[in-house]
Structures are given as C-alpha cells and as structure tokens.
Amino acid sequence: MIKYFLLLLLPILLSANLTYVFNHNKEVALLESFDIEASFLYDPIMNQMKAKKSTIQKNKHFFKAMDEAYTFIPAIKSILAKHGVPPEFLYLAMAESNFSTRAYSKKRASGLWQFMPATGKLYGLKIDEYVDERRDLIKSTEAAAKYLSHLHKRFGKWYLAAIAYNCGGGRLNHAIKKAGSNELSVLLDPKKKYIPKESRYYIRKIVALAMIGQDEQFLMHSEYEHLLNRANAYSISTVQLSSGDSMRRLSKMVGIPLAELKKLNRHLKYDFVPPYAKGYDVYIPYIKLNEFKRKYTPEPMKNIYKVHVVQRGDNLSYIGKKYGVSYKVIKDFNKLKSYRLKLKQRLIIPIDSRIASKKIDTRHYYMVKKGDTLESISKAYKVSVQNLKLQNHLQNSLIKIGDRLKINE
C-alpha cells in the first residue's frame, strides 16, 4: 500500500522539483541581466519585498498597475531592446511611477520615468506651454533608455546604472571611491551607508518586481492570467496631426473615447496639439490605425475652432480671459508677431466652437475715456503704471479711447 502511494506521489514530487528548478534558473537569469550575482536571491530584504507584493489576497497593487499599462508595455520593451537595455528595466519605470504617466513628485520629477526638468530637456524632451514630454509614453522611454545606456557605459554594470538613475551618477561615483569597490554587496552595507537608504531599497524593489512579473505560475493562479498573453508587437501607434488640430475631432473621427485618447497622450496640456509648423505626433490604439489612415485629413483651424472678431477695447488678455485660454496660446495660434490687434481682425480661439463664452467680471476692467492717461488711471486705482503695462501687454504708454484695460488679476 505504501509502495502504491509512493508511486502516485512520485510524479507530483518530480513536477514540483522541476518547477522549482525552472523558476530558480529563471531568477538567476534575471539577476544576470542586472549583472547581479546569484547569491542575491537570498537577500532577506529583497525577499521580504517580493513576498509582500506577491500576496494577491492582501495586495493587488502590482497587478492593477500591470493591467493598466497593458497597452503600452510592449512598446516600452521594444524601445529598451533597441537601445540595448535589458527588458527587465521595465520594472524600473514601475518602481519610479507605478506606470503612471501622471506621476509627479515633490522634487518636480514627472512622468513614467520620473525625469527632472533639466535631465528631461538634456535628453531631448520638450517642456513648454503646450506639452510636457516627460509624460510622453514613447519619447520619455527613448530618453530613459539613452540615459540608462549612458550610465551603463559610465559604470560598467546594469545594477550600477539603476542605482545611479536613482541617486545620481556623481553620488554613486563618490560612494564607489569611498567603499573602494563597486560590488553590490559592499554598496548595500547598511552600517557603512555608502549609498542612501532609498537607493539601497530601490535596486531591491526593482529586482523583486521583476521576479513577480516573470512568475508564470503565480500569474496563472491569479485573476490576471491574461497578462501572460500580452502581444509582443506594439499595441499603440504613432500618428501625426496637423498644426493645432483638436483631439476631440480625432476622437469623433476615428471612434476613440476622448478619455482613452487623453490617457495615451498625457503629455498634452490642452485638448489640442501644439501649433508647431510641422504638426505633432500623438498616440492611438493600434487597432484604430487603418481607420485613421482612411478618414483623417488636415482641416483649416478656422473650421475647427471658434473665431473671434476683434472689437474696440479688445486685447489678448481680455480675449483670453473671455474664452478661458492663455493669451500666449491665442498669439501662437494666430501667428501674431506682437500683442497689438486691429479692429475686425479675426482670431482663431482654440476651444470647441460649441462651447459658450465665459462671462467676464467687468469690475476688473476699465474702459478708456477721453482725457485718460495711464498715469491718471494708475492713481485712480492705486496701481503702478508698470503694473498696468504688464497686465495689458503694452509696449509703451499710448492708450486709445475705448481700450479696455485690465486693472487687477
């Protein structure tokens, strides 16, 4: 009877052993991709992190983040591979932002890869009135891949590139000199504190997340089994809209909910693309690409947006407040070389033409009358002449009867 029982039990034990060996080998290979020795598998802090994050019943945070990033993870992996960065660095983005393009830190780091403004600009990311490309899925990943490649070339090991990404190359270089070694076990010494505590936990967190992400057995026993079947090709496509085109128009034309379109294009500060001369790239789901190619045609902006006819007393600040649009945006959209306007001049206002104009609180404006000067108005309202000029974008002190001057913010 015992023999019979053992014969039944043997295949189960063999299967369990094979699974353990397979998972162990995968984990060792993962560590090798970071240039980390296999002994790191027994790091107690890393294993504690892994155990905490892989308890489905207690914490679904990891899986929800993976699920929400489902559409663009293939694109991230492809870009990393193009620059020779191990695909496991996908989990550096997860550690940085939890795959949220909206992530913003107290230190002003932003986006999927948490770039600071200066570093983002250094690696070609545009930050202006219209866009913050640190939140651009593709461009920020290109920048991060270039930055990580640079750090790897500088320090020679991928785990050092990851640590430098967190605490800075200068600080890591100082730590290596102080420690007399670039070995991970030395740099992680909690007593010597060669690198900041945050960085000591940071590299462990990335490894723990990567191990959970590649644990097929674990995923198969969760409600997120579909994550195993992610497509290896791009799930999103890049298309170009003409200068200043409306995202709302694109949404209706191609049949993509505006909310979904915004989620893929968090880098846009408005519901329209910048009025750059060559147009601007945006992202749509791959399944909508053919429909876009069939239906999209550039349209003159006057047919998309509201057109305002300049009246006596109008200035860009007043018009901008009326429609809830920055005066700088109106200036750019209309390619104005100065802030001066002409009567009956037609201005394109980049808002949906069906949106009603906002009511203006006229108590904050003054209509210039006969005999008025900037000096007399400044004395009457107890504001400086310079203040009036700045608020109303006046190049000199000349004002005309009927001009509407902004007095206070």
Catalytic residues: 96
- Length of the chain equals 409
What tokens appear for 18 in the block? 């094979």
**Interhelix angle 158-167/169-179, nearest 10 degrees:** 120
Calpha distance 120→143 (Å, rounded)? 7
* Nearest to 185, CA basis, from 41, 294, 29: 41
Calpha distance 158→59 (Å, rounded)? 29
Q: Are β-strands 365-367 and 346-352 bridged in parallel, bridged antiparallel, or unpaired?
A: unpaired
Distances (CA, A) of 259 to 68, 252, 264: 14, 12, 9
Distances (CA, A) of 273 to 69, 244, 258: 23, 5, 14
Question: 271 near 246, Cβ under 8 Å?
Answer: yes
